[in-house]
Structure 1
Amino acid sequence: MSDSLARHDDYDGPPFDESLIDRDPFVQLRRWLGDAEAAGLPDANAMVLGTVDPDGAPSSRTVLLKGLAGPDGPALEFVTNSESRKGIALASEQRVTLLFPWYALRRQVIVDGVAHPAPAALSDEYWATRPRGSQIGGWASRQSRPAADRAELERAVAAAEARFADVDAVPRPPHWGAWLVEPRSVEFWQGRPSRLHDRLVLERVPAAGRPAVDAAWRLLRRQP
């Protein structure tokens, strides 16, 4: 194994223990997300979304966190084409995982949760913030479908541009929208020397007779 691929005992991150984690996972996630942004990590809001296809095959890809506030309480928001591979997977199995891989900070966050389609108003709100070119791309791309070559995609883009040439506000495609992930557990992983990493997990404990958004969170430590 080359030296560049070898594992080194260089996890010298700051201490992270039960006295330092906020018992609200969204508060703690915002804190660590802010640290990643302050450190200048590219695409600090990038997260790996893991899903299960209708045939049981797992798949993963990177999406961007678009927000942490849903209409009914805190949730992790991302957007996708419902006709894409992940969109089809989400329609079949809404249990998902999300992973924030902040390698440079020797940190990662793993979310296990359930994904739900966001209300149309929330999807419309985010769609309106996208650059026009991205909106055109949302109409042109048949996401995850095979393409003969790059020219096929470019022809579809040209057709979409012509379709909306006289339209000031490009409408949101019916197949495009936001999803909200409601966490069941959130693990905050901090690298430490000798691979004795800190793994602190906040698990949702629903309050009896109350909505899930009012749930309490139970803290536990997992061995590295």
Structure 2
Amino acid sequence: MSKDLKVPFKIEGGNRIDDTPVHKAIREALANCLINADYYGRCGIVIKKERDCIIMENPGDVRTGKDQMLRGGISDPRNKALMKMFNMINVGERAGSGVPDIYSTGEQEGWEVPVIKEEYGPNRTILTLSFKEKQAIKTSDRKQAIKTGDKKKRAKTKENQEKIILYLKEKELLKTSDISEVLGLSVARTRAILNNMVKEGLLEAIGSNKKRVYRKNKKDDKKVE
């Protein structure tokens, strides 16, 4: 499985080190595949090695759920005896850290993100480790993504401003904490929106620091409407 992996020249204590983080990640992936396989399920373990990827398949679904497996921190191995055996030779996940470590290694190498897929009927878990480099995002695509994100942000800010104005029609004076609860935003984000509304003349700020409250700008109700 590690035959085609590049091994940089490294010497420690007069001995060449042939083990790399990539080798360790593959060992972790293989151990994870074996430890979590459902040996009573249909079909067996299948490992496919191609020039630019390794695909590992094992019977059985992900017991902790795929999202939790990617986050790490919780381990529920299907075959605990196997896990202990691997741990005795310093191979295999501990406390659910195996898969996150595999993803971290791929990111450090600049490879495409590993893919975990679950199939049902029969249940199977498929892990694809790609050795392909990530494709650089085109400058034009990046600029377009930024423009789209800015447009959505402005629209959301305007929506929140309208909610604040409607709420101030019912309550003449409001604190930042009250408004943050209505909007479902953090106090810091709410304060930023309120400060902008004050600058635009939509609101008036009364008081300072923790005692500050806000009300509609009575000098310019047209702006408020």
- TM-score range for the pair, normalised by the shorter chain length: under 0.3
Structure having the larger proportion of residues in helix:
2
Structure having the larger proportion of residues in strand:
1
Q: Which has the higher contact order (CA 8 A, sep 6+)?
A: 1
